[in-house]
Amino acid sequence: MHTDLLKTLRLENSGVPIYVQLREQILQQLGAGLLATGDQMPTMREVAVALKIDLNTVRHAYDELERMGAITLVRGRGSFVAEPPPAMGARAQNVKAESLAKQILATAAAMGLDPVVVADRIKALSKQKE
Protein backbone atom coordinates (compact mmCIF):
# COMPACT_ATOMS: atom_id res chain seq x y z
CA MET A 1 0.00 0.00 0.00
CA HIS A 2 2.60 2.52 0.98
CA THR A 3 4.56 2.04 -2.25
CA ASP A 4 1.52 3.52 -4.01
CA LEU A 5 1.77 6.57 -1.76
CA LEU A 6 5.47 6.95 -2.53
CA LYS A 7 4.73 6.94 -6.26
CA THR A 8 2.24 9.81 -5.92
CA LEU A 9 4.42 12.17 -3.89
CA ARG A 10 5.88 15.02 -5.95
CA LEU A 11 7.87 17.98 -4.71
CA GLU A 12 7.81 21.31 -6.49
CA ASN A 13 10.25 24.18 -6.48
CA SER A 14 7.48 26.61 -5.53
CA GLY A 15 8.90 28.29 -2.46
CA VAL A 16 6.61 26.23 -0.21
CA PRO A 17 8.72 24.35 2.36
CA ILE A 18 9.23 20.69 1.47
CA TYR A 19 7.76 19.41 4.74
CA VAL A 20 4.59 21.45 4.07
CA GLN A 21 4.30 20.02 0.55
CA LEU A 22 4.75 16.51 1.93
CA ARG A 23 2.23 17.05 4.75
CA GLU A 24 -0.36 18.51 2.37
CA GLN A 25 -0.01 15.72 -0.17
CA ILE A 26 -0.48 13.07 2.51
CA LEU A 27 -3.53 14.94 3.82
CA GLN A 28 -4.91 15.02 0.27
CA GLN A 29 -4.47 11.25 0.02
CA LEU A 30 -6.35 10.85 3.30
CA GLY A 31 -9.12 13.21 2.20
CA ALA A 32 -9.52 11.39 -1.10
CA GLY A 33 -9.88 8.08 0.74
CA LEU A 34 -6.74 6.61 -0.85
CA LEU A 35 -5.36 5.96 2.63
CA ALA A 36 -7.66 4.23 5.09
CA THR A 37 -7.69 4.04 8.88
CA GLY A 38 -5.01 1.62 10.05
CA ASP A 39 -3.01 1.67 6.80
CA GLN A 40 0.71 1.62 7.44
CA MET A 41 2.55 4.66 6.16
CA PRO A 42 5.93 4.39 4.46
CA THR A 43 8.79 4.77 6.89
CA MET A 44 10.37 8.18 7.18
CA ARG A 45 13.55 6.73 5.70
CA GLU A 46 11.67 5.28 2.70
CA VAL A 47 10.12 8.69 1.99
CA ALA A 48 13.45 10.48 2.39
CA VAL A 49 15.20 8.08 0.00
CA ALA A 50 12.37 8.07 -2.56
CA LEU A 51 12.17 11.88 -2.67
CA LYS A 52 15.91 12.44 -2.16
CA ILE A 53 15.33 14.73 0.82
CA ASP A 54 16.70 14.96 4.34
CA LEU A 55 15.26 12.55 6.91
CA ASN A 56 14.62 15.45 9.32
CA THR A 57 12.36 17.09 6.72
CA VAL A 58 10.21 13.96 6.57
CA ARG A 59 10.26 13.71 10.37
CA HIS A 60 8.97 17.31 10.56
CA ALA A 61 6.06 16.48 8.21
CA TYR A 62 5.20 13.27 10.07
CA ASP A 63 5.38 15.05 13.44
CA GLU A 64 2.93 17.68 12.19
CA LEU A 65 0.62 15.00 10.82
CA GLU A 66 0.69 13.29 14.21
CA ARG A 67 -0.06 16.58 16.02
CA MET A 68 -3.00 17.08 13.67
CA GLY A 69 -4.28 13.60 14.51
CA ALA A 70 -3.95 12.31 10.94
CA ILE A 71 -1.39 9.62 11.72
CA THR A 72 -0.21 7.71 14.76
CA LEU A 73 3.48 6.99 15.32
CA VAL A 74 4.06 3.65 17.07
CA ARG A 75 7.64 3.24 18.24
CA GLY A 76 9.21 0.12 16.80
CA ARG A 77 6.24 -0.58 14.50
CA GLY A 78 5.91 2.47 12.24
CA SER A 79 3.36 5.09 11.34
CA PHE A 80 -0.30 4.36 10.70
CA VAL A 81 -3.32 6.31 9.49
CA ALA A 82 -5.15 7.35 12.66
CA GLU A 83 -8.74 6.65 13.60
CA PRO A 84 -11.00 9.57 12.73
CA PRO A 85 -11.61 11.76 15.77
CA PRO A 86 -14.94 11.50 17.56
CA ALA A 87 -17.56 14.13 16.80
CA MET A 88 -16.89 17.40 18.60
CA GLY A 89 -19.07 20.19 19.88
CA ALA A 90 -19.77 23.36 17.91
CA ARG A 91 -17.30 25.46 19.92
CA ALA A 92 -14.43 22.99 19.48
CA GLN A 93 -15.27 22.66 15.81
CA ASN A 94 -15.12 26.45 15.39
CA VAL A 95 -11.72 26.61 17.12
CA LYS A 96 -10.31 23.87 14.86
CA ALA A 97 -11.86 25.46 11.76
CA GLU A 98 -10.26 28.80 12.67
CA SER A 99 -6.86 27.15 13.06
CA LEU A 100 -7.21 25.30 9.76
CA ALA A 101 -8.31 28.48 7.98
CA LYS A 102 -5.19 30.28 9.25
CA GLN A 103 -3.00 27.42 8.01
CA ILE A 104 -4.64 27.53 4.60
CA LEU A 105 -4.21 31.31 4.39
CA ALA A 106 -0.51 31.00 5.26
CA THR A 107 0.00 28.24 2.69
CA ALA A 108 -1.88 30.21 0.02
CA ALA A 109 0.25 33.29 0.72
CA ALA A 110 3.46 31.23 0.53
CA MET A 111 2.33 29.88 -2.85
CA GLY A 112 1.26 33.30 -4.12
CA LEU A 113 -2.39 32.29 -4.37
CA ASP A 114 -5.41 34.53 -3.83
CA PRO A 115 -7.22 33.22 -0.72
CA VAL A 116 -10.61 33.96 -2.32
CA VAL A 117 -9.76 31.63 -5.21
CA VAL A 118 -8.73 28.94 -2.71
CA ALA A 119 -11.99 29.41 -0.77
CA ASP A 120 -13.99 29.08 -3.99
CA ARG A 121 -12.17 25.84 -4.84
CA ILE A 122 -12.87 24.49 -1.35
CA LYS A 123 -16.59 25.25 -1.80
CA ALA A 124 -16.63 23.59 -5.22
CA LEU A 125 -14.82 20.49 -3.96
CA SER A 126 -17.11 20.29 -0.96
CA LYS A 127 -20.16 20.28 -3.22
CA GLN A 128 -18.62 17.50 -5.35
CA LYS A 129 -18.35 15.24 -2.28
CA GLU A 130 -22.06 15.63 -1.48
Cα–Cα distance measured from residue 26 to residue 41, given in angstroms and rounded to the nearest whole number: 10
Which CATH number do you get for residue 38?
Answer: 1.10.10.10
- Same domain (yes/no): 31, 73: yes
- Which pLDDT score is estimated for 92? 78
For the chain, 130 residues long, give each residue's pLDDT as a single digit of tens: 455 777 888 888 888 899 999 998 998 888 777 888 899 999 999 999 999 999 999 999 999 999 988 999 998 899 999 987 677 677 877 888 888 888 888 888 888 889 899 889 888 888 876 5
Looking at the structure, tell me whether residues 120 and 71 fall in a common domain: no
User: Do both 70 and 122 map to the same domain?
Assistant: no
Q: Are residues 74 and 13 in the same domain?
A: yes
Q: Is 107 found in the same domain as 74?
A: no
pLDDT of residue 58: 96
* Residues 5 and 35 sit within 8 Å (Cβ to Cβ): yes
What pLDDT is stored for residue 30 in this prediction?
84
105 and 73 share a domain? no
Do residue 50 and residue 111 come from a single domain?
A: no
| Residue 115 sits in the same domain as residue 75 | no
Quote the domain boundaries for residue 77. 2-81
Measured CA distances, 101 to 38, 97, 98, 107, 118 (Å): 27, 6, 5, 10, 11
Domain boundary among 62, 81, 100: 81
Number of structural domains found in the chain:
2
pTM for the complete prediction? Answer: 0.69
Same domain, 111 and 48: no
Tell me what pLDDT residue 31 has. Answer: 79
Q: How many Cβ atoms from other residues are within 10 Å of residue 105's Cβ?
A: 14
Whether 74 and 22 share a structural domain: yes
Tell me: do 34 and 95 sit in the same domain.
Answer: no
